[in-house]
A = this chain, B = another copy of it.
Amino acid sequence: MARNSQDTKLRILKAANRLFYSDGIRAVSVDAIAEKAGITKKTLYYHFKSKDDLVAEYLMSRDQPNLDAMRKWFDEVDGSVAEKVYAIFDGVVQSSKHPNWRGCGFLRTAGELANMPGHPAIKAGAAHKKRFEGWLAEVFVEHELKNSSGLARQVVLLLDGSFAVMMVHHDSAYIEEAGLAAKQLVEASS
């Protein structure tokens, strides 16, 4: 057991990540996270002020990785912007096949905490979604599309719609359909 602060904190965050994403916020106890991280609850509270604080840090830790995944799917495909946008949805389709996939952790957390509008975790989710939308809008500007910011929003709506519908139907055909709609909208602005 390394008596290393940074290392321990990361292990806690990793355990929180897995459990919160898999089971939801209120369904996961601080005890469960501590046990999964192989430490005691008191140690967890040494590194994090409260459960709410841990939830917020969990989401903040997902911001960059999620964004990177989206960018990667977009960049890796050759073709028109419309086709590259479709590739994002295709990437989500592939991810959704993994047995541990549970949709978008940001949205699920925001939904669970809908009665606490100012919760730092919701702010973290909002920041993440804004960053993604901003990146998309930028890309659309670079490719000289009409109405780039409105179009970015529409793509975001379709993507988050996919996540939402998947929570209910568990049928990736919906993500594909969203991808087709996004492609069509992008083409119409080209």
Which residues of A pack against B, CB within 8 Å?
A: 22-24, 26-27, 102-104, 106-108, 110-115, 117, 122, 125-126, 129-130, 150, 153-154, 156-165, 167-170, 174, 177-178, 180-181, 184-185, 188
Indicate if the CB atoms of A177 and B160 lie closer than 8 Å.
Answer: no
Q: Which B residues touch A154, using CB under 8 A?
A: 158, 177-178, 180-181
State A105–B188 Cα separation when bound (angstroms): 34
Interface centre among A26, A154, A158, A178 (most CB of B within 10 A): A154
CB distance from A95 to the nearest CB of B (A): 15
Number of copies: 2
Please report the C-alpha to C-alpha distance between residue A179 and residue B85 in the assembled complex, in whole angstroms.
Answer: 20
A110 to B158, CA, bound (A): 18
User: Known: A111-B167, A129-B168, A168-B110. Is A174-B188 also a contact (CB below 8 A)?
Assistant: no
24 residue pairs bridging A and B, Cβ less than 8 Å apart: A22-B115, A24-B111, A24-B112, A27-B115, A102-B115, A106-B168, A107-B167, A107-B168, A108-B114, A110-B168, A111-B111, A126-B168, A150-B177, A154-B177, A154-B181, A156-B161, A157-B165, A157-B178, A157-B181, A158-B181, A159-B161, A161-B161, A184-B185, A185-B185
